[in-house]
Amino acid sequence: MIPAIVVFLYLAIVLYIGIFAFRRAKGKEEAEDYFLASRSLGPFVFLFSLFGTNMTAFAILGSSGHAFSNGIVTFGLMASSSGLVIPLTIFLIGTRVWALGKKHGFMTPVQMFRDRWECSHIGTTIFVVQAVLLVPYIIIGIMGGGTTLYTISDGAVPFWFGGAIVAMVVMSYVFFGGMRGTAWVNTFQTVLFLCFGAIALIVIGVGMGGFRSAANAIQNSPMASLLTRERISPYYFFSYTFIPLSAIAFPHILIFCLTARKMAQFKKTVIFYPLCILAIWLPCVFLGVMANRVTDIPEIRQKQEARRVLATQGKNMAPEQRDELREKSAGDDVIMVLLKHYAPLWLAGLLGAGIMAAVMASDSQILALSTMFTEDVFAFYGGKTRFGEHVQVQTGRIFIILITLFAYIVALRAPETIFELAIQYAFSGYAALSPLLIAALFWKGSTKWGALAVTLWTAITVIAVAVLQSVVPAPAPGPATVLWAPGGVEVLSRTPGGTAVFGFMPVVPMVIGSALLMIFVSLATRKPASTTLAKYFGGR
């Protein structure tokens, strides 16, 4: 129960930060203050909150779980590729969006798209697609909170109550503190993440009797492939470098780029981003791999046994049996299990708070959805003119309550795996939307019809992949099930982990398709007026 008490203390601190931010706002009821903290964030808060916003539960729980099953490849696959692509996109796109926001007062990406391409309903279409892809994150955040509290308290806090507490806390500090509260909480959480990685590494390392012996034991066992990248194909590895393109296309990240006081604040963020990723992901991936050497914890042995059965007998099993074994072998709770076994109670609580910080990253998405709704729908369709800015902010707050309630109700009723899958599609979907930003900022010739084509293509391909994966069950570990191979060329396959197109993940054809559609449809349609282009490109 002690770890649960520490976690509750952490939740109280987070709540206090949100309310303190509300008091700091001194009753200002301006939309720009509530939704963008008056574009006033300093370098430290900007770096840590932007980074924290991007670090979901997956950074700690998912990364170690993926490494437990797939080995060290997890780091190159998800962390170091993000360490190159995300700061690069912040440098190229984030700074430009910030400048346009400062000059023209944009608060959401859709506002910029509407102005840049002289469109209205196409902007609304983009809003709908962005919003639909964002909602699963909020739901999974609440589910993660409920599960973590349940695990930490050894079942004393039921899932429904834990989820309700997390939903209430997140809702409260977003409701009161707006962007300022969210940014401060994210900064606090990121500092916790960073401490978490270092402490967990030391405590578990000592508990395991040193990493040298564990690494040597794995090297000399049948599990030696976990120390290599053999379990993933080079095509899959290459495909994954397209996924971080999604980061800058996420509305909550792009809206966050608008909160910097000066453009110079981007400098530290761009430089330190790869190092922050290194500091958090490397210990988690390393511990996930080393967990395979722990033989005295029954939970870990059960996972390894499920993995072994799936690999040896999976081909002869029904899809439901395979899914059940996959769930049993999943290592998402492996860090929690190691901590429970090796860390003293009070430390396990502190580290549990760190994990809690990771699963509560849905705050920015809730605020982003509220900002988008009030700016792109409420204000755009005349609400702000009719009722004023004060009502706009209150509408945003009501929206926060409604979306959190909706997410909580869905979290109680639906199985978690559905939303984990939805998040997989969302990453690919947002990566496929990234050509919108590149075209808007760097290509005079892009048009609203090109933007519409990209948006519809994204929606259709995300739905197509989702339908395909629900209709065709995942095969057992090993060769993929080929679904379409005209002339012997494997075009479409169902793999144990998803779908492959010409051996690549769907995100590759999705992004390339988006880029081509933007180019060809724009070339065939009328460009915006020269006055609009001058606003974005000057005399260039």
Partner 1 sequence: MKNILLVLAVVVLYVLHQDIWFWRSARLVFGFIPIGLFYQGCFSVAAALLMWLLVTYAWPAHLEEEVEEANTGEDRSA
Pick the stretch among 196-204, 282-290, 310-318, 451-459 that binds partner 1 (CB under 8 A): 282-290
Rounded-to-integer distance, Cα 104 and Cα 438, Å? 19
> Does 534 interact with partner 1 (rule: CB under 8 A)?
no
> Does 227 interact with partner 1 (rule: CB under 8 A)?
yes
> Does 161 interact with partner 1 (rule: CB under 8 A)?
no
> Does 262 interact with partner 1 (rule: CB under 8 A)?
yes
> Does 272 interact with partner 1 (rule: CB under 8 A)?
yes
Q: Which is nearer to partner 1, 141 or 283 (CB)?
A: 283
Sign, CA torsion 268/270/272/277: positive
Rounded-to-integer distance, Cα 207 and Cα 403, Å? 43
Q: Which is nearer to partner 1, 259 or 362 (CB)?
A: 259
DSSP 8-state assignment for residue 41: B
Of these, 7, 79, 194, 379, which contacts partner 1 (CB under 8 A)?
Answer: 79
Token digits of residue 113: 């798209």
Pick the stretch among 40-48, 129-137, 225-233, 466-474 that binds partner 1 (CB under 8 A): 225-233
Helix 345-359 vs helix 2-24: crossing angle, to nearest 10: 40
Pick the stretch among 88-96, 252-260, 465-473, 497-505 that binds partner 1 (CB under 8 A): 88-96
> Does 193 interact with partner 1 (rule: CB under 8 A)?
no
Rounded-to-integer distance, Cα 40 and Cα 180, Å? 9
Pick the stretch among 133-141, 267-275, 337-345, 514-522 that binds partner 1 (CB under 8 A): 267-275
Nearest to 273 by CA among 36, 95, 90: 90
Tell me the closest approach of the beta carbon of residue 82 to partner 1, in angstroms. 9
- Binding residues for partner 1, rule CB under 8 A, total 51
Q: Which helix (H) or strand (E) covers residue 500, if one does? A: strand 498-501
> Does 231 interact with partner 1 (rule: CB under 8 A)?
no
Q: Which helix (H) or strand (E) covers residue 359, if one does? A: helix 345-359
CB atoms within 10 A of CB 423: 17
Tell me the closest approach of the beta carbon of residue 40 to partner 1, in angstroms. 14
> Does 278 interact with partner 1 (rule: CB under 8 A)?
yes
Three-class DSSP category at 481: strand
Pick the stretch among 5-13, 80-88, 130-138, 479-487 that binds partner 1 (CB under 8 A): 80-88
Of these, 169, 248, 289, 501, which contacts partner 1 (CB under 8 A)?
Answer: 289
Largest CA distance in the chain: 72
> Does 535 interact with partner 1 (rule: CB under 8 A)?
no
- The runs of H, that is alpha helices, within 414-529 are 416-442, 448-471, 507-524
Contact partners, residue 532, CB within 8 Å, separation at least 6: 115, 116, 118
Rounded-to-integer distance, Cα 458 and Cα 464, Å? 10
Nearest to 280 by CA among 209, 355, 337: 355
317 and 474 Cβ atoms separated by less than 8 Å: no
Q: Which is nearer to partner 1, 264 or 318 (CB)?
A: 264
Q: Which is nearer to partner 1, 72 or 426 (CB)?
A: 72
> Does 219 interact with partner 1 (rule: CB under 8 A)?
yes
217 and 293 Cβ atoms separated by less than 8 Å: yes
Pick the stretch among 21-29, 115-123, 245-253, 276-284 that binds partner 1 (CB under 8 A): 276-284
Token digits of residue 441: 């900022």
Pick the stretch among 97-105, 126-134, 313-321, 403-411 that binds partner 1 (CB under 8 A): 97-105
User: Footprint of partner 1 on this chain (CB under 8 A)?
Assistant: 72-73, 75-76, 79-81, 83-84, 87-88, 91, 95-96, 98-99, 102-103, 211-212, 214-216, 219, 224-225, 227-230, 234, 237-238, 241, 262-264, 267, 270-275, 277-278, 282, 285-286, 289, 538
